[in-house]
Amino acid sequence: MFLTRIVASIFLIILTASPLKAAQIEGVNFDDSCIIQDMKLTVRGVALLRYMVFIKAYVGGFYLDQNHQTSDLFNDVAKRLELHYFHAIPAADFAKSTKIMIENNLTNVEFNTLLPKIEQMNSFYQDVKPGDRYTATYIPGAGTELSLNGKPLGIVSGYEFANAYFSIWLGKNPIDEGFRDHLLEKK
């Protein structure tokens, strides 16, 4: 009896010490939270983006400072978007799409003002293969950091750039409204 309790206690400790996954979509796990410069960001939503209706392109998880609502996402607050890819995509395609999608969400003046920063972000992109994961993290006061599979590729400064970049997926004219709405807990 005593030994059974010890084994059960050890099992419970191991189970609770393991990092829990908050969400799983299409077999891809997203952690329930992450820490960015002493700020805890929690996963708000996950979503699947399909290309041409039936092709799974990628899944994403959106994280926001635990003290903020998703309606605050375009304020100067920490945020993260993780994208897990199902297909190989060349860096040039990311650069082209980034430029087009940001332009779709800004005025001509805003876009031209941010163009040097857009080009800076585009220079960070690398080819991805199935299973790779890009992470974009906005850190107030520092900028938007792009990482591939956990390896930082570079940071683009500026709160205005962060808003423009995150608008690709979360703005008024996102890459896909359903994807956006699932990330923001609207569906």
DSSP string, 100-133: HHHHHHS-HHHHHHHHHHHHHHHHH---B-TT-E
Q: Which residues contact 141 (CB under 8 A, 6 or more apart)?
A: none
Residue ranges making up the domain that contains 158: 19-43+50-183
Q: What is the pLDDT of residue 5?
A: 41
Report the side by side order of strands in the sheet with 143-148.
33-36, 39-51, 55-65, 79-85, 133-139, 143-148, 151-156
The answer to the question of residue 110 being in a domain is: yes
The answer to the question of residue 10 being in a domain is: no
Reported as a single tens digit per residue, the pLDDT across 71-91 is: 999 999 999 999 999 999 999
Please report which confidence band the pLDDT of residue 52 belongs to, taking 50, 70 and 90 as the band edges. confident
Q: What is the pLDDT of residue 51?
A: 84
The answer to the question of residue 145 being in a domain is: yes
pTM: 0.86
The answer to the question of residue 8 being in a domain is: no
Q: What's the sign of the alpha-carbon dihedral 47, 170, 157, 41?
A: negative
User: Which of 13-22, 93-102, 109-118, 125-134 has the weakest average pLDDT?
Assistant: 13-22
The answer to the question of residue 25 being in a domain is: yes
Domain with 34 in it: what CATH number?
3.50.70.10
Number of domains in the chain: 1
Average pLDDT, the chain: 88
The answer to the question of residue 105 being in a domain is: yes
The answer to the question of residue 12 being in a domain is: no
Q: List the one residue out of 31, 36, 34 whose CA is nearest residue 140.
A: 36
φ/ψ (deg, to 5) at 118: -65, -45
Distance CA 171, CA 175 (A): 9
Joined together, the tokens standing for residue 87 give: 């297909």
The answer to the question of residue 107 being in a domain is: yes
